[in-house]
Structure 1
Amino acid sequence: MDPRLNNVLRLLFMAVSFFAASVTTAEYIRPPRRKILRLTKDPFSSSDPHQVHISLAGDKHIRVSWVTSDKSSPSRVEYGTSPGNYTSVAEGGETKTYSYLVYKSGYIHHTVIGPLKDDTVYYYRCGGKYPEFQLKTPPSKFPIMFVVAGDLGQTEWTKSTLGHIQQCKYDVLLLPGDLSYADYIQAHWDTFGMLVQPLASARPWMVTHGNHEIETIPLVKEWFLSYNARWVMAFAESGSNSNLYYSFDVAGVHVVMLSSYTSFDDHSDQYRWAKADFLKVDRKKTPWLVVIFHVPWYSSNNAHRGEGNAMKAAMEPLLYAAGTDIVFSGHVHAYERSKQVYKDKNDQCGPIHITIGDGGNREGLATRYKDPQPVWSAFRQASFGHGEFEVVNSTHAHWSWHRNNDDESVQSDKVWVTSSWSNPACNGKNSKEGRKVLNS
């Protein structure tokens, strides 16, 4: 093709993309599904640490998780601020292993390191063996950048999404469920761990579970066996009795991870824990409140319609009373951003709900939406991609969604968000309704 014509077409495409980003229900020609990735390296062919990922584990601490094939490998992490110069050692971590029918996992290690300096690069190695990894701790003050990606899976679209995320200068990744899409094939947990290792070993990944993590076999295997063994989160540090729901603070933001697949009525442990957790939030210390779970409460997509209604009925008043600013969910393989909403009506004190189950799963996109578009729905599009949530200060944050267009990342939706804490009309739990609900 003539290069000049190619440039004209590129400019035309950019103009069309810009226009598409300005309308509420943008349509474009969606590329076809891509193949499932096949990892050529056998995770168990080496005794070296692999499937390395990190997560926040309380104030100034990081949990390092990895897998080995060597039973005698210690749960020890050596670390320091210079390559190869490990001035600190953390020992005494836990080691887990599990069997699933004919499958037997490697030795899964979880060791907490710290206290660590904020916004600092550390070099570390696991189990006394190389390779050396490096991580960066989050800042303790604004601004802070979160990347959000749900329903990842292991396809070529996943690889594209991860590539775009790797180019983003983010501090923490949030994943609202459906990680590996192993779906009972346990070796796929291993290949997923290898796939995400370059990113997950360098920045904290804070995840919750989805329906593809359930993997139960009645009377034989319990729910979430593989997920709980491999992805230990900060539940103990946040006073939760379950790895399926927990919370953490980072740089002025309080994040609450909830479970769509555990009891959530007002007599449940999850509900009682969540209420107690919301009551402990100090909005002067953490003026932003973010909540994450898998099944969306506000979605105008035809896929999984109504599946979140029971949890919504039970817990939406709780989130509203606490002054939640933004809710992230997955499950529906598309993107949608709501306006501030509560009980299906636009409400200046309600949170923004964002469905972002479009990381790159093998099941494809959910392309059909309800028409007409509900009044609370601000933008929706069935495309793969990721989101970036930059909390600039105590009152303002910027959200943007980046669509995977072929192999290019295209910013297709963006909005400034104001914290409810800074709105005198809302003020979260200090409002009359908030006090009534949280103290009932």
Structure 2
Amino acid sequence: MMPNKLNSNKIPLLLTVVITVITAVTATGDYVRPPPRKTLHFPWDSKLSSQPQQVHISLAGDKHIRVTWTTSDSSSPSLVEYGTSPGEYTYRGHGDTTSYSYLLYNSGTIHHTVIGPLDHNTVYYYRCGGQGPELSFKTPPSELPVTFAVAGDLGQTGWTKSTLDHIDLCEYDLHLLPGDLSYADYIQSRWDTWGNLVQPLASARPWMVTQGNHEKENIPFFKDGFESFNARWKMPYEESGSTSNLYYSFEVAGAHVVMLGSYTDYDENSDQYNWLKADLSSVDREKTPWLLALFHVPWYNSNNAHQGEGDKMMEAMEPLLYAAGVDIVFAGHVHAYERTKRVYNGKSDPCGAVHVTIGDGGNKEGLQSKYKDPSPEWSVFREASFGHGELKLVNSTHAFWSWHRNDDDEPVRSDEVWITSLTSSQCVAKEREEARETFWLP
């Protein structure tokens, strides 16, 4: 028996249907994502053992900066020379060192030196360890406006480099990173290569980071978690009254920023919870009208990935953030981008925070492109693409947020919104007033 043949009269009709479908899909404006990029590989480094490497800076209290770097030579001094003119080092700061061992790996000598007091909005030239190269950084302004670059889940892939290149084009004052830095994942030499990868940016503007799951690196009964992270990326936890490098706060210009730990205890009896309550109670909204929070695991997430992982932390801590009037929350973990309306307790609330998931910096695991359908009523914009965000706190009442997709190596602004601060909105929701009374927040 001869096989059935497609009726030739039906071929034009079939082609018309196919073309119509393709046109309809194209007309939706859906972004076609470029393919993944490989993990970067770094050549052997022949720098002298005393040569500073992996230089990065962070805020260390009012008018002070912590400079961190690594050397192979343990006798290299923890000295930072600095001044406001190239090659003229009027001031000197001395710090301390640490190191750690991890299985067969021994870290270099990690230097932490706090310098200051420094003038605001000023370029300083500096060198570490008494020898070159000369680097420079700019201190943040003392008052608004101030601009943050925001990108989480960075890693060290080709997309990471694209993200960093785009951030380098941004006129920003400091970088916020809500967890998952190097993706070393137990291979400690990857911390070293990542430190050198980010040095051009991290040595020029303060990087304020919190931990993600890829920083844990614990080995049961043998190694506690976060040893590498805590040794290499010391944040101002002591300056903010915290007992752990995994959660702290800092102030810059007109913002109070709370950095929380998704992977340390957060229930109502925990040290982190009690510290957070005390920290939020001390915030002066006249001085810092903007209140921001960062942690790794998102509480509001309509992506299929990592559903429910932040629920317990949200149950414990969201009432505190709501009572204090947190304006914007940044999280990572989900390798995609999403922005919400102001939300609280699982639904839109004019007195809640805007939640932004921005775990799309360039990690090796790729993007997570499947979302819940239909979209929750609180979700405004969502897309699985690599990129970074920029938050400009323009004045005490208004901020401009934009998300920039890495499109063919060009930073394409794909989402943007003006946000009004809660201090200026006269938010009087009954639920928030009850929460403030419950937690005795001013």
Tell me if TM exceeds 0.5.
yes
Q: Structure 2 residue aligned with 1:54, among 51, 57, 63?
A: 57
Partner residue, 2:149: 147
Contact 2:324 2:441 in 1 (8 A): no
1:366, CA displacement in angstroms? 0.3
The within-5 A match list for 1:7-26 is: none
Runs of 4+ in structure 1 displaced over 6 angstroms?
A: 427-430
Cα deviation, residue 438, structure 1: 3.9
Structure 1 partner of 2:426: 424
Letter in 2 for 1:211: N
Match of 1:9 in 2: none
- What is the correspondence of 1:298-313 to structure 2 with a 5 Å cutoff? 298-313=300-315
Question: What is the CA–CA distance in structure 2 between the aligned matches of 1:358 and 1:332, rounded to whole Å?
Answer: 8
Residue 103 (structure 1) shift: 0.3
Taking the aligned partners of 1:143 and 1:434, their CA distance within structure 2 comes to 29
Offset from partner CA, 1:363-401 (integer Å, 9 cap, x none): 000000000000000000000000000000001000000
Shift of 1:45: 5.3
Post-superposition offset of 1:28: 1.3
Query: Structure 1 pair 236/163, CA: closer, same or farther in 2 (3 Å)?
Result: same
Contact 1:55 1:64 (C-alpha < 8 Å) held by counterparts? yes
Q: In the alignment, what sits opposite 2:209?
A: 207
Amino acid paired to 1:353: H
Q: Which runs of 5+ in 2 are unaligned?
A: 1-22
1:345, 1:438 → 2: CA distance?
A: 24
Q: CA RMSD in A?
A: 1.8
Give the direction of change, closer, same or farther, for the CA distance of 1:122–1:343 in structure 2 (3 Å limit): same
User: Could you tell me the TM-score, scaled by structure 2's length?
Assistant: 0.92
Residues 438 and 186 (structure 1 numbering): CA distance in 2 closer, same or farther, change over 3 Å?
farther
Question: 1:366-385 counterparts in 2 under 5 A?
Answer: 366-385=368-387
Q: 1:87 aligned to 2:87? A: no
Q: 1:72 to 1:428 in 2, by over 3 A?
A: farther
User: Does the 8 A contact of 1:287 with 1:419 survive in 2?
Assistant: yes
The answer to whether the aligner puts 1:191 opposite 2:182 as a matched pair is no
Alignment match, 2:364: 362
Q: 2: CA distance between counterparts of 1:397 and 1:340?
A: 14
Pairwise CA distance, 1:219: 1.4
Measure the CA separation in 2 of the matches of 1:315 and 1:430: 14
User: 2:230 maps to which residue?
Assistant: 228
Kindly provide the CA deviation profile for residues 94-118 of structure 1, in whole angstroms up to 9, marking residues without a partner as x.
2011100000000000000000000
Partner SS for 2:133: strand
The total of aligned residue pairs comes to: 418
Contact kept in structure 2, 1:43 and 1:50, CA below 8 Å: no
In structure 2, the partner of 1:12 is: none
Distance in 2 (alpha carbons) for counterparts of 1:278 and 1:428:
20
Task: Name the counterpart of 1:8.
Answer: none
In the alignment, the residues of structure 1 paired with residue 370 and residue 409 of structure 2 have an alpha-carbon distance, to the nearest angstrom, of 24
Distance (Å, rounded) in 2 between the aligned partners of 1:149 and 1:164: 11
How far is the alpha carbon of 1:423 from its aligned partner?
1.7
Q: Which residue of 1 aligns with 2:76?
A: 73
- How has the CA–CA distance of structure 1 residues 62 and 277 changed in structure 2, closer, same or farther, with 3 Å as cutoff? same
Matching residue of 2:399: 397
Maintained 8 Å contact 1:147/1:173? yes
Amino acid at match of 1:401: W
Note the 1:199-278 alignment, pairs <5 A: 199-278=201-280
SS at the partner of 1:294?
A: coil
Q: CA deviation at 1:410?
A: 0.3
What CA deviation, in whole Å up to 9, does each residue of 1:263-291 have, x standing for no partner?
Answer: 10100000000000000000000000000
Q: 2:168 aligns with which of 161, 166, 169?
A: 166
Aligned match of 2:15: none
Paired position in structure 2 for 1:64:
67
2:35 matched to which residue of 1?
32
Q: Which residue of 1 aligns with 2:351?
A: 349
**Is 2:319–2:435's contact at 8 Å kept on the other side of the alignment?**
no
For the structure 1 residues 395 and 249, does the alpha-carbon distance in structure 2 shift closer, same or farther, using more than 3 Å as the test? same
| 1:63 counterpart letter in structure 2 | R
The worse-fitting range, judged by mean Cα deviation, of 245-254 and 33-42 is 33-42
Q: Percent identity?
A: 67
CA-CA distance at 1:432 after TM superposition: 4.3
CA contact (8 A) 2:351 2:432 kept: no
Deviation of the 1:439 alpha carbon: 5.4
Secondary structure at the residue paired with 2:239?
helix
Larger radius of gyration, structure 1 or 2? 2
Counterpart of 1:42? 45
Deviation at 1:426, TM superposition (A): 4.1
Offset at residue 437 of structure 1 (A):
2.3
Letter in 1 for 2:105: Y
